Amino acid sequence: ERESVQKKTFQKWVNSHLVRCSCRIGDLYVDLRDGKMLIKLLEILSGERLPRPTKGKMRIHCLENVDKALQFLREQRVHLENMGSHDIVDGNPRLSLGLIWTIILRFQIQDITIEETDNQETKSAKDALLLWCQMKTAGYHNVNVRNFTTSWRDGLAFNAIIHKHRPDLIQFDKLSKSNAMYNLNNAFNVAEDKLGLTKLLDAEDIFVDHPDEKSIITYVVTYYHYFSKMKQETVHGKRIGKVVGIAMENDRMIHEYESMTSDLLRWIESTIESLGDRNFANSLVGVQSQLSQFSNYRTIEKPPKFVEKGNLEVLLFTLQSKMRANNQKPYTPKEGKMISDINKAWERLEKAEHERELALREELIRQEKLEQLAARFNRKASMRETWLSENQRLVSQDNFGFDLAAVEAAAKKHEAIETDIFAYEERVQAVMAVSQELEAENYHDILKINERKVNVLRLWNYLLELLRARRMRLELSLQLQQNFQEMLYILDSMEELKQRLLTDDYGKHLMGVEDLLQKHSLVEADINVLGERVKAVVQQSQ
């Protein structure tokens, strides 16, 4: 609602000046976009000739025209904070209103100065306008102008100002504080019909809980300029002061400006150096703490300095305006202490701040990844430790059985166990690789990681030792069972040969004896073969 009131007021104000060149705008946000009306308005207000507008309706032409207007304002030492030509071309409501308000301040309000006779204190701009209103309404019943908002709601202040200068136009005694809408309409209509002042406001805009200050100031200043031109206007609207007093005040302001500038620049340089420090804490908690400190700097430490920077600009602008108004050569800061120098230093501060934020967030991401990697290491290490311990218990058991078949089955099972364990080496190496990566990235708790890595390696090597020892025992047991089997075979063979040798059949004739001799030779050969097997089994047993 406040924005719509401002838009309507500022639009009427603009049209009240554009009428001098037979122009008008229909929408404040739309009709200023091409920059042409803006250039005309500034020419009317300043009495100076601005560069000719660029022809064409393309966006680039609009940007050029608006930029010409903004450049003219900068040359008039008007500070346009965070405002560019693209904002006006895009019809940005807040910045469009801000631009018109800046123009009103520069060409309608800035040079208003009133000197109070009791203390000879010089006031400027808004305060001077408020003082002027208070002086003009002093003594009027139910009129107490303390601000540019609620003091005007009942309409009596508007009527009082008109009555003070033109009592023939207003019957002030017949006005009632309770009839605000009538009072407002009466003042606005008389000002428009009798004085030719454009009706920038409607009664409905003012008779609200919180009237818009800028809109009221814009309208009231038209009263000030109108009545200031009247022949019977007294010298109360002009700034009067002693030359010595002005000079002393100027010197005080110069000293204040230089002192504040030095302090601010010192703080900026010190902060830039601090922001450039890249020795971050080597832990996630530490970096989070540094990020919190950085956030505190942005929200607590920096904002007052930004306000201080703005105050410096206002102070210098006020000082130069005062000196210019007194036909004195405006004060120019020394090299290194100009507003441009402060702005450049502030830009370097903003750059250092941005770079530190990026570096902190990058380090935060790195530390988070390291913590995730460490958690993965611990999880894997825990799984490996459990597996290795269980398999150590498994290979420590010698349940091979008590016969050859059982031992041979145990040997096959052992080979399967070996295959599983040897295949697990890759997983153990994966844990080692994670620990090496953490060490390479300088993880803050690398000592604990290395301790656990050593423990996993110790368990692995011990398991391999147990596995080798079990295989040796198993091979020995297998050899033993094979020897037992061979011995049983030899004993059975010996018993069979013994039976063959104990026979009493020596033959009854030559053919029979020769046949038995041949068979005996075969028995002897079998005994010799069996003897070799006995020697072999004895040797293996030893």
Same domain? 472 vs 508:
no
Same domain? 129 vs 97:
no
Residue 380 has pLDDT above 90, yes or no: yes
Same domain? 102 vs 164:
no
Q: Domain residues for 457?
A: 375-496
Q: Tell me which of 32-36, 42-46, 236-240 is least confident.
A: 236-240
Number of domains forming the structure of the chain: 5
Which one-letter amino acid corresponds to residue 71?
Q
Which pLDDT score, from 0 to 100, does residue 494 have?
81
In a domain, 225, yes or no: no
Which pLDDT score, from 0 to 100, does residue 236 have?
40
Which one-letter amino acid corresponds to residue 363?
E
Dihedral angle of Cα 462, 467, 472, 474, to the nearest 10 degrees: 140
Same domain? 51 vs 7:
yes
Which pLDDT score, from 0 to 100, does residue 541 have?
66
In a domain, 151, yes or no: yes
Instruction: Name the pLDDT band for 531 (thresholds 50, 70, 90).
Output: confident
User: How many angstroms separate the CA atoms of 39 and 51, rounded?
Assistant: 8
Tell me the three state secondary structure of residue 499.
Answer: helix
Instruction: Name the pLDDT band for 233 (thresholds 50, 70, 90).
Output: very low
Do 184 and 207 meet the contact criterion of CB atoms below 8 Å apart?
yes
Same domain? 396 vs 478:
yes
CATH classification at residue 159? 1.10.418.10
Q: Tell me which of 39-48, 120-129, 274-283, 450-459 is least confident.
A: 120-129
User: How many angstroms separate the CA atoms of 508 and 189, rounded?
Assistant: 170
- What radius of gyration, in Å, describes the C-alpha atoms of the chain? 52
Do 175 and 111 meet the contact criterion of CB atoms below 8 Å apart?
no
User: How many angstroms separate the CA atoms of 214 and 204, rounded?
Assistant: 16
Do 100 and 14 meet the contact criterion of CB atoms below 8 Å apart?
yes
In a domain, 238, yes or no: no
In a domain, 330, yes or no: yes
Same domain? 440 vs 383:
yes
Residue 267 has pLDDT above 90, yes or no: yes
Same domain? 12 vs 100:
yes
Residue 334 has pLDDT above 80, yes or no: yes
In a domain, 201, yes or no: yes
Residue 516 has pLDDT above 80, yes or no: no
Nearest residue to 88 (alpha-carbon basis) of 77, 76, 107, 103: 103
Residue keyed to tokens 């003070």? 164
In a domain, 367, yes or no: no
Q: What share of the chain in percent tops pLDDT 90?
A: 46
User: How many angstroms separate the CA atoms of 136 and 131, rounded?
Assistant: 9
**Which of the given ranges, 30-44, 401-415, 482-496, has the highest pLDDT on average?**
30-44
Same domain? 91 vs 69:
yes
Same domain? 63 vs 77:
yes
Instruction: Name the pLDDT band for 1 (thresholds 50, 70, 90).
Output: low
User: 30 vs 54, 63, 99, CA distance in Å?
Assistant: 18, 14, 14
In a domain, 67, yes or no: yes
Give mean pLDDT, residues 255-283.
Answer: 92
User: How many angstroms separate the CA atoms of 269 and 495, rounded?
Assistant: 110
The neighbouring-strand residues paired with 113 are: 124
Instruction: Name the pLDDT band for 244 (thresholds 50, 70, 90).
Output: low
Which pLDDT score, from 0 to 100, does residue 121 have?
54
Give mean pLDDT, residues 360-378.
Answer: 93
Which among 183, 211, 239 is the end of a domain?
211
Length of the chain: 542
Give mean pLDDT, residues 305-315.
Answer: 92
Which pLDDT score, from 0 to 100, does residue 232 have?
46
In a domain, 241, yes or no: no
Residue 436 has pLDDT above 80, yes or no: yes
The neighbouring-strand residues paired with 115 are: 122
Q: Tell me which of 175-179, 188-192, 523-527 is least confident.
A: 523-527
Which among 362, 393, 411 is the end of a domain?
362
Q: How confident is the prediction for the chain on average, in pLDDT? A: 86
Same domain? 162 vs 275:
no
Same domain? 61 vs 153:
no
CATH classification at residue 311? 1.20.58.60
Same domain? 484 vs 505:
no
